[in-house]
Structure 1
């Protein structure tokens, strides 16, 4: 039977590339988008061109009170389009960045990082857990910044550090249903994340390459390939782990 993946934040960046790479491997895709419906529909079309099913659902994972409604929408979609088949793979990817040193970080900015990167995936996963298949696999996206430190990344990195702890607890608590949960921590990636800070700066790319063993900045497809590998049968015996995909940044 065809597998089904659910991706949060799938209309752009790492989520988009992960969706496309999974579709190329024969996996049907449901993904969420925040507000750009046109971009979401372009991804749907791209996935459908591979012969796989694809559906985009609007969701703001920060809005915890809306998740019951999202769960019902997802459940209805599964019944109508997938004959009640449950989600095999969940990629908790939705997120935004922040560059502000500790002295300049406001309470509102820290709350935003914790809401979208910690509370969001925590309660999103909690709500849809009954719709995830036994033996399924969850990946929570963290960051290399939870291991190494760059000034201006404290609030974002703190939230991602919490994601890594959350992953271990999910792995322990969901194991009774044989659901595996792992963390994928990308390094510096040339996408539109944080306003394209890496993608649009030759200086930033040169700096990243200089401290990376494989001597280049990461691309979205690097993470899409890693997600596909982690959702493969080769990861059946791996849970509660942190996998860093950074090309060997700051070893």
Structure 2
């Protein structure tokens, strides 16, 4: 068996970075994909290498579906040249954007950006990379607890992630004959830099959201990353087509 490899989108910060670090701790070589490319992903690469793992940062813009063919070829060259690998063992579709607003305030440009990145981009990236996933590979698509409960101003974002969850189930059936497992992880309120870092930087917001969780606090990025890495591990080999919420029991 050759070296195990993973690709994590949006891995330059937040949940993506935590996921990349967790997968590296599980012994995988990690491709850190982000819109800013090598410069933006350098911090994640340094952290992984400092801990004894290996990683490389590459540029990927999920809104630019037309670039996915060239991206795939460059990715394969990187896998072969750096690690002698021809396939990916883990694909984590984490990158996404959230533009929030009431029904009357959402513009077509907002709608297209959110759906184009969170759903369209994820769909066509999986399409491009599926032939290069190893048999028995694991795909984890990052969703949100907002597909289960409601929060004002989140309609387009939540709908885009609900589409990702439906996609995950369909892909699990389609790729299952190759032993590929596909699941969705739905983080709850977490102290990350998402949405301008509102939850991370606003104690009042954190306190309000923490009061609505069974465990009495908001999550930390590392807790989401660890859950994704665990779901992608061999110990979870009999789980596919599932939505796993990692929310500390939010809004039960």
Deviation string for 1:56-100 (max 9, x for gaps)? Answer: 110101100000010110111122122233110000000111220
Q: Secondary structure at the match of 1:215?
A: coil
Q: Secondary structure at the match of 1:42?
A: helix
Structure 2 partner of 1:170? 171
The alignment of Structure 1 onto Structure 2 pairs a total of residues equal to 251
Q: RMSD between aligned alpha carbons?
A: 1.1
Structure 1 partner of 2:153? 152
Deviation string for 1:138-182 (max 9, x for gaps)? Answer: 000000001100001111001001000000000010011110000
Whole-Å Cα distance in 2 between the matches of residues 62 and 104 of structure 1? 22
Whole-Å Cα distance in 2 between the matches of residues 197 and 152 of structure 1? 15
Structure 1 partner of 2:83? 82
Whole-Å Cα distance in 1 between the matches of residues 91 and 104 of structure 2? 36
Instruction: Return the offset for 1:111.
Output: 0.9
Instruction: Return the offset for 1:39.
Output: 3.5
Whole-Å Cα distance in 2 between the matches of residues 14 and 126 of structure 1? 23
Whole-Å Cα distance in 1 between the matches of residues 190 and 86 of structure 2? 34
Paired residues of 2:145 and 2:186 also in contact (CA < 8 A) = yes
Structure 1 partner of 2:188? 187
1:1-251 correspondence runs (5 A): 1=1, 2-35=3-36, 37-251=38-252
Instruction: Return the offset for 1:51.
Output: 2.0
Q: In terms of mean alpha carbon deviation, does 35-44 or 138-147 score higher? A: 35-44
Instruction: Return the offset for 1:233.
Output: 1.3
Q: TM-score, normalised by structure 1?
A: 0.97
Q: Which runs of 4+ in 1 moved over 2 A?
A: 36-39
Q: Secondary structure at the match of 1:139?
A: strand
Gaps of at least 5 residues in structure 1 are none
Q: Secondary structure at the match of 2:67?
A: helix
Deviation string for 1:23-72 (max 9, x for gaps)? Answer: 12211101201126434112111111222221111010110000001011
Q: Secondary structure at the match of 2:201?
A: coil
Deviation string for 1:98-146 (max 9, x for gaps)? Answer: 2201111111111111101100110001001111100000000000001
Gaps of at least 5 residues in structure 2 are none
Paired residues of 2:37 and 2:57 also in contact (CA < 8 A) = no
Q: Secondary structure at the match of 2:151?
A: coil
Whole-Å Cα distance in 2 between the matches of residues 242 and 144 of structure 1? 10
Instruction: Return the offset for 1:10.
Output: 0.5
Whole-Å Cα distance in 1 between the matches of residues 226 and 38 of structure 2? 25
